[in-house]
């Protein structure tokens, strides 16, 4: 029998950078939304700019939160943001805590992304060996093409700055709610009435999905991390993802694996979709 995880407030699944409708034949958030609906949760997927800075996307999210509240009669929402979606969720909660019951960061770059730093430096002539910079850029572009089969938007480079350590640092100076006081620690569980949670993963040691090209790209990108080597999901470092109550930050999941079921999933792979179901039960238990 399926568990009932009807939360007091609707759940909004917030997509990150280069958000899109589908990953190959799969709708973005399809597995997550289906699993949450099956246990009674009321779920919405707001659509933000696929590529823009954190505050612009956060403002767009605020408008859509208002729309959900008007349409459902709810007083608050639970925000679950994947990747850059976590930053948009944090922005919304900071500006409208009266409308947000909780913020959950899933693989969110809450202290920036080393890959974003690396790619940003690659744009400065002479800062990196040309061959290395080109290799990282090709891996990054290949990753995106696996997602939606389209070319990168023309303003992708400008959006990259919003995810660098410096860019997120500036964002954090203005919106510090839920951030840990120490590197690798937990942040405040509750700020201004909003509960904060996070979870993330690291690229699995085992090749749990040999037929999944996205996992191969994340594995290759993970080798370029310096601050968090072998402790990252290919795009975000383990400790960089911490926010509020850290449920766990070393699940055997790459960056996109925390959003969907991997292709040719091996028994050793983490059950990413089950994590969302468990979290819905957690929110329910907290009367959220």
The angle at the Cα of 24, spanning 18 to 29, to the nearest 5 degrees, equals 60
Lowest-confidence pick of 45-54, 121-130, 142-151, 160-169: 142-151
* pLDDT, greater one: 21 or 176: 176
Q: How many residues are recorded in the chain?
A: 288
| pLDDT on residue 205 | 75
Catalytic site residue 233?
A: yes
For residues 72 and 174, what is the distance between their CA atoms, to the nearest angstrom?
31
| pLDDT on residue 221 | 86
For residues 183 and 110, what is the distance between their CA atoms, to the nearest angstrom?
11
For residues 41 and 117, what is the distance between their CA atoms, to the nearest angstrom?
37
Q: How many CB atoms lie within 10 A of CB 131?
A: 8
Q: In the structure encoding, which two tokens stand for residue 259, read together? A: 């959003």
**Residue 146 pLDDT more than 60?**
no
Catalytic site residue 15?
A: no
pLDDT in tens, 194-212: 999 999 999 987 665 556 6
Of 9, 30, 53, 83, the catalytic one is: 83
**Residue 1 pLDDT more than 50?**
no
**Residue 77 pLDDT more than 60?**
yes
Of 15, 30, 111, 255, the catalytic one is: 255
Give the position of tokens 């960089």: 240
**Separation in Å, CA 63 to CA 105, 122, 151, 265:** 20, 35, 28, 37
pLDDT in tens, 113-143: 998 888 777 766 555 555 565 565 556 555 6
**Residue 35 binned pLDDT confidence (cut-offs 50, 70, 90):** very high
pTM: 0.86
**Residue 161 binned pLDDT confidence (cut-offs 50, 70, 90):** confident
Domain covering 11-285 assigned CATH 3.60.20.10 in the classification: no
Give the position of tokens 């568990």: 3
Of 53, 117, 233, 254, the catalytic one is: 233
49-72 mean pLDDT: 90
Q: Pick from 249, 242, 232, 199: which is nearest to 115 by CA?
A: 232
32-59 mean pLDDT: 89
């Amino acid at each position: 029998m399926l568990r009932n995880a009807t939360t007091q407030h609707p759940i909004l699944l917030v997509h990150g950078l280069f958000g899109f409708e589908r990953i190959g034949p799969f709708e973005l958030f399809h597995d997550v939304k289906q699993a949450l609906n099956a246990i009674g949760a009321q779920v919405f997927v707001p659509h933000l700019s696929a590529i823009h800075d954190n505050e612009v996307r956060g403002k767009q999210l605020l408008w859509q939160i208002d729309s959900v509240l008007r349409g459902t009669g709810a007083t608050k929402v639970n925000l679950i943001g994947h990747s850059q979606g976590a930053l948009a969720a944090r922005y919304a909660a900071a500006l409208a805590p009266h409308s947000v019951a909780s913020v959950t960061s899933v693989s969110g770059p809450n202290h920036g992304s080393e890959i974003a730093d690396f790619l940003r430096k690659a744009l400065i002539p002479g800062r990196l060996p040309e061959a290395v910079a080109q290799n990282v850029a090709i891996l990054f572009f290949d990753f995106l093409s696996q997602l939606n089969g389209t070319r990168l938007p023309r303003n992708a480079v400008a959006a990259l700055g919003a995810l660098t350590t410096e860019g997120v640092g500036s964002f954090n100076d203005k919106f510090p709610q839920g951030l840990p006081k120490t590197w690798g620690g937990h942040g405040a569980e509750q700020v201004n009435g909003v509960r904060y949670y996070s979870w993330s993963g690291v690229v699995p040691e085992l090749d749990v999905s040999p037929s999944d090209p996205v996992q191969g790209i994340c594995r290759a990108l993970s080798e370029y991390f310096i601050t968090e080597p072998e402790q990252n999901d290919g795009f975000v470092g383990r400790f960089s993802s911490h926010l509020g109550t850290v449920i766990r930050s070393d699940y055997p999941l790459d960056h996109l694996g925390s959003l969907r079921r991997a292709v040719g999933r091996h028994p050793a792979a983490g059950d990413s979709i089950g994590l969302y179901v468990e979290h819905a039960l957690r929110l329910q238990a907290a009367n959220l």
